[in-house]
Structure 1
Amino acid sequence: MPSNEQRRQAAKRKLERQLTRRAERAKRRRRIGVSVTIVLTLLVVGGVYYLVTRTGGEDAAAAANSTSPTPSSTPAGKTTEGPCKYAETPQEPAAKEAGLPDDPDPTPNSGTTQVTLKTDQGDIGLVLDRAKAPCTVQSMVHLAQKQYFDNTTCHRLTTSDVLKVLQCGDPTGQGSGGPGYVIPDENPTDLKPDATGQAVTYPRGVVAMANTGQPNSGGSQFFLVYGDSTLPPNYAVFGTVDQAGLGVLDKVAAAGSDNSRSEGDGAPKTPVHIQQATVLN
């Protein structure tokens, strides 16, 4: 018959085994919870990334507008000789002819340039910052001076919790058009990262360049951020919207999207027609 001491030791060992099993179960639950959170976060970021890339065909302004051409099948286009090396895209002709931008050496990389987008919903003033994205600003000023943006439509409005932008800059109005050349990436390095480290916050009021999802594929399409938006840091921030312009964006956003692509994603119900883009200085 076991003694009292033996019974105490047996009870102690049983308790220790129970505590160990509980700790292991709790640890497994924590691992599963963290894994699920990471997966869901990456899915959200990936989905948002899909939302702001340029497009072709029926997926207008949502996904890449072409696959990367192979050197053997795509004729080489002209490339400027300055630091920005703007490159023609013969496989994607210009939606509206503007030619290649000047590419001075060195590229002007200080100071600001004001551009006014005169729209049928009110003026949207932009302050372009050469220090943040000098090649992008050089190109945008060139396109504005060539009347590339005149008589064009802002083709896309998103109103989700994580993406609040109005996208413009395509003369076709479908999200598939560009200027016939591409500009180099000038990705932001000073935006606040989210908890995953995979995305950053594009704050209300910034202007950023859209692209196809491929490196160095920006052209003429840009998006105006009317509410803090979560995106990968793959879109050049090249300026800000003035207060009057934010009022216009708020009015357009309040009317909502026609949801033609998905819930909260499509053409703005209140159309935004850029009548003229004017470079003020």
Structure 2
Amino acid sequence: MPTNQQRREAAKRKLERQLTRRAERAKKRRIVATALTVGGVVVVVGLIYLLVVLNSGDNSAANQPTDTPQEPKTTSGPCKFSSNPAKPASKPVDAPPDVDPTPNAGTAKVNVKTSQGDIPLTIDRAKAPCTAEAIEHLVKAKFYDGTSCHRLVNSASLKVLQCGDPTAQGSGGPGFEIKDELASLPKPAAGQETIPYPKGTLAMANAGPNTSGSQFFMVYGDSQLPPNYTVFGTIDAAGLATLDKVAAGGITEGQDGAPKNPVNIETATVA
């Protein structure tokens, strides 16, 4: 039977073994925790590195600078033709040269060859010098070739065929605008808001002040309109005969719409 001294020594040795095992277990836990922490840091660093690499690689969409909005441009000559990037050309064409001085005398003969017959026109530079310069430029650039006259109006007060839009939708143009030239127009009579646009008048269509571009209208019957449309020439007798034939063919719907007999401009040339 062990003595008290022996029991105390045995208990002491047991306690020492327990303390040793506890220390070893604590050491292992610290090693595992350290490893997990280091592993987590490595994973995070790896993810950050991957994101940096992906975002700094050859990613054209991410690396391309944003486009700076382009400012409207105006030619330097007397006519000040203005180009607005928000209204691009419906068909490629440059702005007119805007020569100085602007030719303001004489006439130019233009023949518009259409699927319904020829429409000879006379452009009058004295009436609207800048408009005449722009239209002659568009004709020489073949802007009107292969386009359609998209609008025929046949009402009591307005009889016109409108052309000059390559899209044939009524909203297309050359990518530049021409300032109105209204000095040659008469003033409305007292109490009136319109003036006569006689049969044979050649004038510019617009969407408001100083917005004329390439669209023009040909008056085949005496009409009334506000004095807001630049008159720049006349329609020759042979052209009026062609317009009468187009008008007689009717309109697709109502009094204002596409002509039933399509009027396709094959060529427009300056004589």
- So what's the TM-score if we normalise by structure 2? 0.73
| Deviation of the 1:89 alpha carbon | 1.4
Pair 1:122 & 2:120 matched = no
The answer for unaligned runs of 5 or more in structure 1 is: 1-72
Structure 2: how far apart are the matches of 1:210 and 1:192? 19
The answer for unaligned runs of 5 or more in structure 2 is: 1-67
Deviations 1:67-100 (A, max 9, x none): xxxxxx9742221101100010110100001111
| Deviation of the 1:256 alpha carbon | 1.3
| Deviation of the 1:192 alpha carbon | 6.9
Pair 1:268 & 2:259 matched = yes
Structure 2: how far apart are the matches of 1:174 and 1:194? 34
State the partner residue of 2:45. none
CA contact under 8 A between 1:95 and 1:179: conserved in structure 2?
Answer: yes
Pairing of 1:37-52 with structure 2 (within 5 A): none
Pair 1:256 & 2:250 matched = yes
State the partner residue of 2:132. 137
State the partner residue of 1:61. none
Pair 1:181 & 2:176 matched = yes
Structure 2: how far apart are the matches of 1:92 and 1:166? 24
Aligned to 1:139, the other structure's residue is in SS state helix
State the partner residue of 2:268. 277
Aligned to 1:234, the other structure's residue is in SS state coil
State the partner residue of 1:166. 161
Structure 2: how far apart are the matches of 1:201 and 1:119? 27
- The AA in structure 1 aligned to 2:78 is P
Taking structure 1 as reference, are residues 106 and 87 closer, same or farther at Cα in structure 2, changes over 3 Å only? same
Pair 1:222 & 2:213 matched = no
State the partner residue of 1:231. 225
Structure 1: how far apart are the matches of 2:164 and 2:189? 28
State the partner residue of 1:47. none
State the partner residue of 1:105. 100
Structure 2: how far apart are the matches of 1:179 and 1:129? 21
Identity %: 58
Taking structure 1 as reference, are residues 243 and 192 closer, same or farther at Cα in structure 2, changes over 3 Å only? farther
Taking structure 1 as reference, are residues 188 and 155 closer, same or farther at Cα in structure 2, changes over 3 Å only? farther
CA contact under 8 A between 2:144 and 2:265: conserved in structure 1?
Answer: yes
CA contact under 8 A between 1:191 and 1:202: conserved in structure 2?
Answer: no
Structure 2: how far apart are the matches of 1:74 and 1:200? 41
Aligned to 1:118, the other structure's residue is in SS state strand
Aligned to 2:97, the other structure's residue is in SS state coil
Deviations 1:184-207 (A, max 9, x none): 110154447356331101000010
CA contact under 8 A between 2:160 and 2:221: conserved in structure 1?
Answer: yes
Structure 2: how far apart are the matches of 1:115 and 1:174? 24
CA contact under 8 A between 1:226 and 1:249: conserved in structure 2?
Answer: yes
- So what's the TM-score if we normalise by structure 1? 0.70
Structure 2: how far apart are the matches of 1:76 and 1:88? 9
Structure 1: how far apart are the matches of 2:116 and 2:196? 27
State the partner residue of 1:152. 147
Indicate the RMSD between aligned Cα atoms, in angstroms: 1.5
CA contact under 8 A between 1:171 and 1:177: conserved in structure 2?
Answer: yes
| Deviation of the 1:278 alpha carbon | 0.3
Pair 1:212 & 2:207 matched = yes
CA contact under 8 A between 2:128 and 2:181: conserved in structure 1?
Answer: yes
Structure 1: how far apart are the matches of 2:235 and 2:179? 23
Question: Highest Rg: 1 or 2?
Answer: 2
Pick aligned residue for 1:246 from 236, 240, 245: 240
| Deviation of the 1:252 alpha carbon | 0.5
Aligned to 1:113, the other structure's residue is in SS state strand
Pair 1:198 & 2:179 matched = no
- The AA in structure 1 aligned to 2:175 is G
- The AA in structure 1 aligned to 2:235 is V
Deviations 1:198-227 (A, max 9, x none): 1101000010000112x2100000000001
